Amino acid sequence: MLPLKQPTTYEQQIEKLRLRGCQVTDVSFCTKVLSQVNYYRLSAYFLPFKKPDENYLPGTNFNDIYRIYEFDRELRNLLFAAIEEVEIYLRAQFAYFHSHKYGVIGYLNPANYNNRHRHDKFQKLIETEIQNNKKVLFVQHHLANYGGQFPFWVITELFTFGMLSYFYNDMLITDQKHLARELFKTVPKNLISWLRCCTDLRNICAHYGRLYFRIFTAIPANLPDLEKNAERRLFGVILALKELYPNVNKWNDEIYEKLKNIMAFYSSVINLDHIGFPADWETKLKK
């Protein structure tokens, strides 16, 4: 095992940046950023500018790196707000469909799922969410008055995006086909893929993770506007999010317009290739 690195002062951190070739023109500003962001967190934004010997490419400037960090933060906040709309929409649609077809607690019947479904795991996920939210009023109400039973349209309020994706993936194929067709004019294979991509995106955003120059694990299926060299970059995930977003006008007037403004404001420091955006990204991201 290698010995753990020891903590360094802000002055030592700045000296390390300079020794690696990063231009630091305002020491006071750099110190302030390092005290607010953390050197280790910020170091991830230097990745596109690293040479094989760990030094930085000529012209690498601390102020530019910080602006890329700010771009990432603003973009993450925007996408998280869009994911919220999708998540609430999925809860509403899944609950309405499933409750009317299978009854109030039909989600607890393993016969209503496909062969891949692990019902014990699903129930444990639900029980965990109930325990984690036992101080929430509607949870207390159902625990006290209904013996801990929750109608599906109530329990979905505790579902994470990942649980919604898991739930859809385990539905009977006839139900998957119906929802994919009626809600998104697609097929289950595509919807499962888009949900997986947006689950990953949601978790990254929720934990303030880096989006810039990130390689994503899942490839969104059947998106004609996605070039192969960008399949695992941010652009592909945003395309999947666009497909799931329920309101065309709201996407175009709010999400899309805000995205254009963010892209324009930081255009001098971001590299489209680092996020998989093609030159005609504006045309492709409008609904």
Tell me the DSSP string of the chain.
-PPPPPP--HHHHHHHHHHTT-B---HHHHHHHHHHH-HHHHHGGGGGGB-TTSPBPTT-BHHHHHHHHHHHHHHHHHHHHHHHHHHHHHHHHHHHHHHHHH-TTGGG-GGGB-TT--HHHHHHHHHHHHHHTTTSHHHHHHHHHSTT---HHHHGGG--HHHHHHHHHTB-HHHHHHHHHHHHSS-HHHHHHHHHHHHHHHHHHHTT---TTPPPS---SS-TT--GGGTTSHHHHHHHHHHH-S-HHHIIIIIIHHHHHHHHHTTTT--GGGGT--TTHHHHH--
Q: Which of 60, 78, 93 is the last residue of a domain?
A: 60
| Averaged pLDDT, groups of 10, the chain, 287 residues long | 94 97 98 97 97 96 98 98 98 98 97 97 96 96 96 97 97 98 98 98 97 97 92 97 98 98 98 97 96
Task: Please tell me whether residues 138 and 47 are part of one structural domain.
Answer: no
pTM of structure: 0.95
Task: Please tell me whether residues 228 and 208 are part of one structural domain.
Answer: yes
Q: Looking at the domain assignment, is residue 199 inside a domain?
A: yes
* Residue type, position 139, single letter: V
Task: Please tell me whether residues 25 and 116 are part of one structural domain.
Answer: no
Task: Please tell me whether residues 45 and 88 are part of one structural domain.
Answer: no
- What pLDDT, on the 0 to 100 scale, is given for residue 64? 98
The pair of three-digit structure tokens given for residue 226, joined into one six-digit string: 């996605």
Task: Please tell me whether residues 56 and 139 are part of one structural domain.
Answer: no
Q: Which of 35, 60, 85 is the last residue of a domain?
A: 60
Domain tally for the chain?
A: 2
Task: Please tell me whether residues 84 and 32 are part of one structural domain.
Answer: no
- In which residue are the tokens 């159902």 written? 142
Task: Please tell me whether residues 53 and 175 are part of one structural domain.
Answer: no
Task: Please tell me whether residues 166 and 233 are part of one structural domain.
Answer: yes
Half-sphere exposure of 68 (CA within 13 A, CB side): 25
Task: Please tell me whether residues 187 and 252 are part of one structural domain.
Answer: yes
- What pLDDT, on the 0 to 100 scale, is given for residue 238? 98
* Helices first, then strands: H and E counts in the chain: 14, 0
Phi, psi of 226 (to 5 degrees): -100, 120
3-state secondary structure of 201: helix
Q: What angle do CA 79, 81, 84 make, to 5 degrees?
A: 110
Task: Please tell me whether residues 30 and 80 are part of one structural domain.
Answer: no
Q: Looking at the domain assignment, is residue 1 inside a domain?
A: no
Q: Looking at the domain assignment, is residue 18 inside a domain?
A: yes
Q: Looking at the domain assignment, is residue 2 inside a domain?
A: no
Supply the range of the domain harboring residue 152: 69-285
What Å distances lie between residue 286 and 8, 245, 264, 272, CA to CA?
A: 46, 12, 16, 17
Q: Looking at the domain assignment, is residue 82 inside a domain?
A: yes
Q: Which of 60, 81, 101 is the last residue of a domain?
A: 60
Q: Looking at the domain assignment, is residue 33 inside a domain?
A: yes
- What pLDDT, on the 0 to 100 scale, is given for residue 41? 97
Q: In whole angstroms, what is the distance from residue 170 CA to residue 107 CA? A: 11
Q: Looking at the domain assignment, is residue 5 inside a domain?
A: no
Task: Please tell me whether residues 226 and 144 are part of one structural domain.
Answer: yes
Q: In whole angstroms, what is the distance from residue 91 CA to residue 18 CA? A: 50
Beta partners for residue 61, in sequence order: 23
Task: Please tell me whether residues 188 and 55 are part of one structural domain.
Answer: no
CB-based contact 186:243 (threshold 8 Å):
yes
- What pLDDT, on the 0 to 100 scale, is given for residue 161? 96
